[in-house]
Chains A and B, each alone.
Chain A
């Protein structure tokens, strides 16, 4: 069975989605366990797959036994192996944690909601595992369209925010498609490995250059890289909580993976960094994006919106880190991708627990939360420390690598941006914690009785929080055994 793992990680969520749809009509109570089983199998498969890659090297899977470059192949190397594991674990934990929330909000449409979520996971897994450029587009659209629908299921402003996301997301995805079209015209191939080898001889082509630019712009648009980020704050903030906790940690990070795959493997480091002097320009721009994201996040009063805007900062880190062009920077960017999946999940799950109990998320309502919901707040503190970059959480170690890469590349402005944004994040979260700790200045004697969120929300949250610290302590092993060997040869 192990030889079919690359296909399983995509087909299992897909079939589970249909099963969930069906269960929604026949017996809604089954939706949750069906999805849980499916995602559990997916998570286990992706971990087994990662183990296989670590042992035996890159795994290639030909769909329908059509050999590359005519058939579509799934290629799993260390880079997407670890991302696959992260995505599936994130989805699994989120599934458990959001149960209470889904039940209270969507009990009449539970089959549809769960089915859409599973389809989204299918798309995300597929984007990561595929080795074909057009296949990537298809799965990208699967993930995107389901995201549009999930986001729109919230009331009020959600449909409008989602429609704006539809517009911008479509432009982004179809830019990517256009770029792939250019590549196809020039090379006649859609297989990533094949393209990589053909493109090596085509460095000076103008069409390839245009393709590169169009593809990168499209990917950046879907990633929420400043200034192409306009859709993100509204879309994630107005979405219903169960949707946000699934989409926010995954969508932009998967797109960051796409960027890394294209820049590092398809076009190759020499081309991507050398052409147009892109290396320096992009890093400068990323530093600006980091600062812009920090400013935007600082000006938010609503907690959900604030943590959404922090995603902008994290994405800018990844873009900057990739384009630093040295080993430390790229390692840092990849490790940050994995870390950010879990950090974002932790913070969003924690705030969703708060919202489940509190309903109101402005600063006044925060009073006394440390006594009322100690576990949730403890996990939120852990996630916040990771985002700020305090050891021994994992966020510190990826930030260290990014800083090191910036130092080595001489990009001091990126270093300054990184440190500044860490301090800004400290301030951002500190405002929340202060409000929760102090209340209104009266002596709160800790007499608030504990009123935690339901166990099903708190336990997965604690697992993620502990995982963040564990990941940090294990960062040496993770980096040396998984990420460092994943880098292509051209990165110095």
Chain B
């Protein structure tokens, strides 16, 4: 099944964000500073790509940083799932950095140096989570990510930011210290290890069904970054952040870290077999389903575009968790694919939302009637992103949803399919009207102004990510390959 190869590459990928130092040092010259960000982003992608051939062969790259407790150390271990997540996030960092330039400069935002430095730190922490070999390392980087993203969420340093920041930390750090930490301890206490092992480490732990269930709940709700209801309200609140932050972090990095962590717990700490044996999978599955439907319904009521997208994200994340509870190869493939597909789609949508704000200062959907006349490119890109999130061809979102449905049919469960289809319909219900309104509607102050698109630095990245949505429909091979490896293992 492949060998363990000792390699320093994972560490390097994380450490790329030591680029923070030159970023801080070049705070006087905006161009030099942004150049450093690109150097770091490309460097990170490069290192992640360098690891790809090994991972595709089935090898696992590992590196131990320091032993801390008997049986537990701070260590990295790159397997296909981590590589997939790392690929998606690092690639999207490049795209987002370009977008940030357009956005931050277009709005003449303050504190840009701080913004880019903490962004780099946040991306490092994300890499750290992706490559973690055990729960403890994951916890370390999870926490670091929470604190690294706080200055980004509260960037505007106004009253809104203050309360959003408080809510952010309360849910996320409160969840991790209050729920995940004791849960980790119980795991360690019963199995003497925290390493991620295929098949889980709790199989012979002697814990009763009730205790396992409690543990599962503590993990699922403790990793509040996954925004499972009712611990989800930090996410819409965090939309006060600048849009690139919302785009990359809250559509891709932070929330996917939460989901990634839960998947790791489901598959590598509990083990899908154990979940099936004690029949706990359905418990988490129902909570996830509730979140999916609930979030989609709330999204329908939102007038703020970013808030609507936030609720959409909450729903979409729970797809992944729902799939993770099903003991089916197809379902897991779908889950892993969805990490990538949803990221591409959602980031496209957020980019569009931000572009609209930069060009027209509009945030409310009700005011966006006829906006396609001014910003046709943006709205077309929005359409692509919407298709991806809804799950229609020719976008990659279709493929991941297809696998999810196949997966639940494979094990004879009908209700996940029902939930998925319902929520797809609901997604269409809240996304398509935006497109429709934009192209065919009329709205305030659209007075034949002619085309006035967003800045180029915004347009290019969103076109790239939209292209990614479509490309991943036609060429899903890479993601499928990585997902395959995980499912086999």
* Closest CB in chain A relative to B157 CB, distance in Å: 6
* Closest CB in chain A relative to B205 CB, distance in Å: 13
Residues of B within 8 A of A473 (CB): 65-66, 68, 74
| Residue contact B166 to A443, C-beta cutoff 8 Å | no
Pick the interface stretch among A29-37, A178-186, A434-442. A434-442
| Residue contact A400 to B69, C-beta cutoff 8 Å | yes
Query: Known contacts A392-B74, A437-B157, A476-B66: does B188 contact A419 (CB below 8 Å)?
Result: no
| Number of A-B residue pairs at CB separation under 8 A | 83
| Residue contact A446 to B182, C-beta cutoff 8 Å | no
Residues of B within 8 A of A434 (CB): 162, 165-166
Q: Which of B136, B140, B159, B182 contacts A441 (CB 8 A)?
A: B159
Which among A388, A389, A391 has the greatest number of chain B C-beta atoms within 10 A?
A: A391
Query: Known contacts A403-B182, A423-B178: does B66 contact A391 (CB below 8 Å)?
Result: no
The complex places the Cα of A445 from the Cα of B109 at a distance, in Å, of 9
Interface string of A368-397 (1 = CB under 8 A from B): 000000000000000001001111100001
* Closest CB in chain B relative to A360 CB, distance in Å: 22
Interface string of A349-364 (1 = CB under 8 A from B): 0000000000000000
The complex places the Cα of A327 from the Cα of B198 at a distance, in Å, of 31
| Residue contact A443 to B158, C-beta cutoff 8 Å | yes
Which among B68, B143, B174, B178 has the greatest number of chain A C-beta atoms within 10 A?
A: B68
Residues of A within 8 A of B182 (CB): 403, 407, 415, 419
Query: Known contacts A391-B143, A437-B154, A438-B157: does B185 contact A400 (CB below 8 Å)?
Result: yes
Q: Which residue of A lies closest to B190 (CB)?
A: A407
Residues of B within 8 A of A477 (CB): 66-67
| Residue contact A476 to B73, C-beta cutoff 8 Å | yes
The 3 tightest CB contacts between A and B, nearest first, are: A476-B67, A391-B140, A476-B68
Interface string of B163-180 (1 = CB under 8 A from A): 001100100011001100
| Residue contact B73 to A408, C-beta cutoff 8 Å | no
| Residue contact B186 to A439, C-beta cutoff 8 Å | no
| Residue contact B139 to A443, C-beta cutoff 8 Å | no
- 4 further A-B pairs in the complex, CB-CB below 8 A; given A419-B181, A476-B67: A426-B169, A426-B174, A443-B110, A446-B110
The complex places the Cα of A444 from the Cα of B147 at a distance, in Å, of 21
Query: Known contacts A419-B181, A423-B174: does B110 contact A445 (CB below 8 Å)?
Result: yes
The reply on B489 being an interface residue by CB < 8 A is no
Q: Which residue of A lies closest to B141 (CB)?
A: A391
Residues of A within 8 A of B140 (CB): 391-392
The reply on B230 being an interface residue by CB < 8 A is no
23 contacts between A and B (CB under 8 A): A390-B147, A390-B177, A397-B68, A401-B69, A404-B185, A404-B189, A407-B189, A408-B189, A419-B177, A419-B178, A419-B182, A426-B169, A426-B174, A430-B169, A434-B162, A434-B165, A438-B162, A443-B110, A444-B157, A446-B114, A473-B65, A476-B66, A480-B70
Query: Known contacts A400-B185, A434-B162, A473-B74: does B177 contact A423 (CB below 8 Å)?
Result: yes
The reply on A422 being an interface residue by CB < 8 A is yes
The complex places the Cα of A40 from the Cα of B178 at a distance, in Å, of 42
The reply on B156 being an interface residue by CB < 8 A is yes
The complex places the Cα of A14 from the Cα of B151 at a distance, in Å, of 48
Q: Which residue of B lies closest to A426 (CB)?
A: B173
The reply on B433 being an interface residue by CB < 8 A is no
The reply on B276 being an interface residue by CB < 8 A is no
The reply on B111 being an interface residue by CB < 8 A is yes
Residues of A within 8 A of B143 (CB): 390-391
Q: Which residue of B lies closest to A390 (CB)?
A: B143
Residues of B within 8 A of A445 (CB): 110-111
Query: Known contacts A390-B143, A434-B166: does B185 contact A403 (CB below 8 Å)?
Result: yes
The interface on chain B, measured as residues whose beta carbon lies within 8 A of the other chain's beta carbons, has a size of 37
| Residue contact A403 to B147, C-beta cutoff 8 Å | no
Interface string of A22-56 (1 = CB under 8 A from B): 00000000000000000000000000000000000
Query: Known contacts A390-B143, A391-B136, A476-B67: does B185 contact A407 (CB below 8 Å)?
Result: yes
Residues of B within 8 A of A479 (CB): 69
The reply on A475 being an interface residue by CB < 8 A is yes
The complex places the Cα of A166 from the Cα of B416 at a distance, in Å, of 71
The reply on A474 being an interface residue by CB < 8 A is yes
Residues of B within 8 A of A397 (CB): 68-69
Residues of A within 8 A of B154 (CB): 437-438
Query: Known contacts A438-B162, A475-B68: does B177 contact A407 (CB below 8 Å)?
Result: no
| Residue contact A389 to B177, C-beta cutoff 8 Å | yes
Q: Which residue of A lies closest to B113 (CB)?
A: A446
* Closest CB in chain B relative to A412 CB, distance in Å: 9
The complex places the Cα of A401 from the Cα of B185 at a distance, in Å, of 9
The complex places the Cα of A415 from the Cα of B189 at a distance, in Å, of 14
* Closest CB in chain B relative to A371 CB, distance in Å: 9
Residues of B within 8 A of A391 (CB): 136, 139-140, 143
Residues of A within 8 A of B166 (CB): 430, 434
Residues of A within 8 A of B159 (CB): 441
Residues of A within 8 A of B178 (CB): 419, 423
* B328-357 at interface with A (beta carbon < 8 Å): none
| Residue contact A385 to B185, C-beta cutoff 8 Å | no
| Residue contact B157 to A443, C-beta cutoff 8 Å | yes
| Residue contact B156 to A443, C-beta cutoff 8 Å | yes
Interface string of A403-424 (1 = CB under 8 A from B): 1100110000001000100110
Residues of B within 8 A of A401 (CB): 69
* Closest CB in chain A relative to B134 CB, distance in Å: 12
Q: Which residue of A lies closest to B66 (CB)?
A: A473
| Residue contact B188 to A404, C-beta cutoff 8 Å | yes
Residues of A within 8 A of B65 (CB): 473
The complex places the Cα of A196 from the Cα of B430 at a distance, in Å, of 76
| Residue contact B177 to A422, C-beta cutoff 8 Å | yes
The complex places the Cα of A448 from the Cα of B66 at a distance, in Å, of 40
* Closest CB in chain B relative to A184 CB, distance in Å: 42
* Closest CB in chain A relative to B387 CB, distance in Å: 39
The complex places the Cα of A404 from the Cα of B140 at a distance, in Å, of 18
Interface string of B33-53 (1 = CB under 8 A from A): 000000000000000000000
Residues of B within 8 A of A390 (CB): 143, 147, 177
* Closest CB in chain B relative to A383 CB, distance in Å: 14
Residues of A within 8 A of B165 (CB): 434
Q: Which residue of B lies closest to A416 (CB)?
A: B182
* Closest CB in chain B relative to A482 CB, distance in Å: 14
The complex places the Cα of A477 from the Cα of B70 at a distance, in Å, of 10
Q: Which residue of B lies closest to A392 (CB)?
A: B140
Q: Which residue of A lies closest to B139 (CB)?
A: A391
Q: Which residue of B lies closest to A401 (CB)?
A: B69
